[in-house]
Amino acid sequence: VVKGNQIFLNFDQAELVINKDVYGHFAEHLGRCVYDGIWVGPDSDIPNYKGYRLDVLEALKELQVPVLRWPGGCFADTYNWKDGVGPRSERPKLVNVFWGGDVEDNSFGTHEFLELCQILGADAYIAANVGSGSVREMIEWIEYMTSDQDIPMANWRRENGREEPWDVKFLGIGNESWGCGGEMTPEFYVNLMRQYSVFARQYGGSDMIRVGCGSHQFYYHWTEVLMREGRNHMEALSLHYYTIPTGDWGIKSEATGFDEDLYFSALRNALRMDELLKGHIEIMDRYDPEGRVELYMDEWGIWTDPEPGTNPAFLHQQNSMRDALIASLTFDIFHRHARRVQMANIAQMVNVLQAMILTDGDRMILTPTYHVFNMYKFNQNATYIPVEITTEKYAFENETIPAITGTASTKDGKVFVGLSNLHASETLTIDVDISGGNANRVLKATILTAPEFNSHNTYDNPNVVAPAEFAGYELTAGNLQVVIPPYSVVTFEME
């Protein structure tokens, strides 16, 4: 057991709220995320509620999903929303050009999405088609969804079975417009964004939060141009960051069966989220020092090779204990940037990339990442307690990363502490200095760990990586001493 790690909770500096939307999700028409993963249709043999699979719904409800982004992704800039409303049997089919060229029957459209949001209690985040659509199509979509007046689009919605308008909170002005959304330059896109944004605010009586399509990775110039020329036309700006274990988009590496080199490099690359946020926020702060424009990391997560034997365009990957650590350390980073980071959307909800849930026919498994979302959900709308961590390093070959990451927050008189031991082999002891607050009793202590750092759940063994009650701590006056096994996440709720 190695000693000498410490985390200090600055209770007196707790003031920023962690927006619940940081625990948001993303569901794209991609592979088996929407079709199969969420939607099987009312006539399916798979138990469903009005076409949504019941097992998945129940699992998602437990997570308290605050916001759901849809329909893409790259798909959004090909989507014709009008083909996805009206009687399902009459809806035209479409080719999903970005994700395998499959023909979809449009049976999951605007009504099905917005009803899903209602069932989950999630706010809706719609991505408008800027790449191949028009301002007029976007205006009509807004009217269809949100108008209560006697006008053609609202009346069409009524004819299609929905009397009341929906409350659609967020509107994305395109997706990855620098890439699959149109290969635009920022100088070109920012003018389009301003045009779409003006009309987005005039129709449907809505005051949707308009999200400018943001940058990805370390492409700072995009953020610079959007903030310089577009900041008055958006309430939020997005950003995308995917963790590629190898750092090479051409050879991403397998989701399971990897050795310590890829365990380490994936965690190291995920930790770069902090540097990335600092870089983009520094630009935003220059143009918007009061922090009016929010930053939405509306796609994030680990991206590995797809599962062998699956359609590579479906991005169906397994999920290991390593990915659970990527989720926890990323939330630790998001919390630190709570002032600007007001939303994040894991890519993606079911069956695609770093999914919460995997399905196969009528079977379903919860992934290690799901469990972190569940263990960390206390943080939704909690007040962040700034933490100072002194931790030893986890060294691999010539590089090091912090061996422990952590976070803390407070809500309703309770205190949350989350700690992740990233080390591949060492059990670590850490002292949590809680002397500044009123946390004298552990209400709940949970651990997520696994036999190996690359362990994962399967349909035959669904609980290889599953949370358990945790007893490896000792609480004395003002100090919580925690002994954390390697590759583990532990969380505490205290009062």
Q: Decide whether 29 or 340 has the Cβ nearer to ligand AHR.
A: 29
Q: Rounded CA gap, 13 and 32, in Å?
A: 44
CB of 22 to ligand AHR, least distance (A): 18
CB atoms within 10 A of CB 134: 11
β-sheet bridge partners, residue 488: 421
| Active site (catalytic) residues | 176, 299
Q: Decide whether 218 or 459 has the Cβ nearer to ligand AHR.
A: 218
How many binding residues for ligand AHR (CB under 6 A)? 10
Q: Decide whether 74 or 321 has the Cβ nearer to ligand AHR.
A: 74
Residue 58 makes CB contacts below 8 A (sequence gap 6+) with none
Contact status, residue 399 vs residue 272, Cβ threshold 8 Å: no
Q: What DSSP state is assigned to residue 148? A: -
Q: Rounded CA gap, 445 and 495, in Å?
A: 12
Determine the angle formed by the axes of helices 321-336 and 260-271, rounding to 10 degrees. 20
**Positions in 368-387 near ligand AHR (CB under 6 A):** none
SS3 state of residue 394: strand
Please choose, out of 66-74, 111-119, 279-287, 465-473, the segment that lies near ligand AHR by the rule CB under 6 A. 66-74
CB of 207 to ligand AHR, least distance (A): 26
**Positions in 174-193 near ligand AHR (CB under 6 A):** 175-176
CB of 347 to ligand AHR, least distance (A): 4
Applying CB under 6 A, does 71 fall inside the site for ligand AHR? no
Please choose, out of 69-77, 204-212, 217-225, 256-264, the segment that lies near ligand AHR by the rule CB under 6 A. 69-77
Q: Which two three-digit tokens encode residue 256?
A: 């399971």
Q: Rounded CA gap, 37 and 432, in Å?
A: 40
Q: Rounded CA gap, 406 and 388, in Å?
A: 9
- Among 27, 40, 60, 74, indicate the residue that binds ligand AHR (CB under 6 A): 74
CB of 480 to ligand AHR, least distance (A): 38
- Among 21, 28, 294, 431, indicate the residue that binds ligand AHR (CB under 6 A): 28
Q: Which two three-digit tokens encode residue 87?
A: 């009687």
CB of 188 to ligand AHR, least distance (A): 19
Q: Rounded CA gap, 150 and 153, in Å?
A: 9
CB of 399 to ligand AHR, least distance (A): 27
Specify the pairing of strand 52-53 against strand 103-104: unpaired
Torsions phi, psi of 81, nearest 5? Answer: -60, -30
- Among 24, 31, 37, 73, indicate the residue that binds ligand AHR (CB under 6 A): 73
**Positions in 343-362 near ligand AHR (CB under 6 A):** 347-348, 353
Contact map string, positions 288 to 317, toward ligand AHR, x by CB under 6 A = -----------x------------------
CA-closest candidate to residue 55, choices 402, 442, 370: 370
Q: Decide whether 74 or 281 has the Cβ nearer to ligand AHR.
A: 74
SS3 state of residue 138: helix
What is the Cβ-side half-sphere exposure of residue 383, based on CA atoms within 13 angstroms? Answer: 14
CB of 216 to ligand AHR, least distance (A): 8
- Among 51, 66, 71, 72, indicate the residue that binds ligand AHR (CB under 6 A): 72
| Binding footprint of ligand AHR on the chain (CB under 6 A) | 28, 72-74, 175-176, 299, 347-348, 353
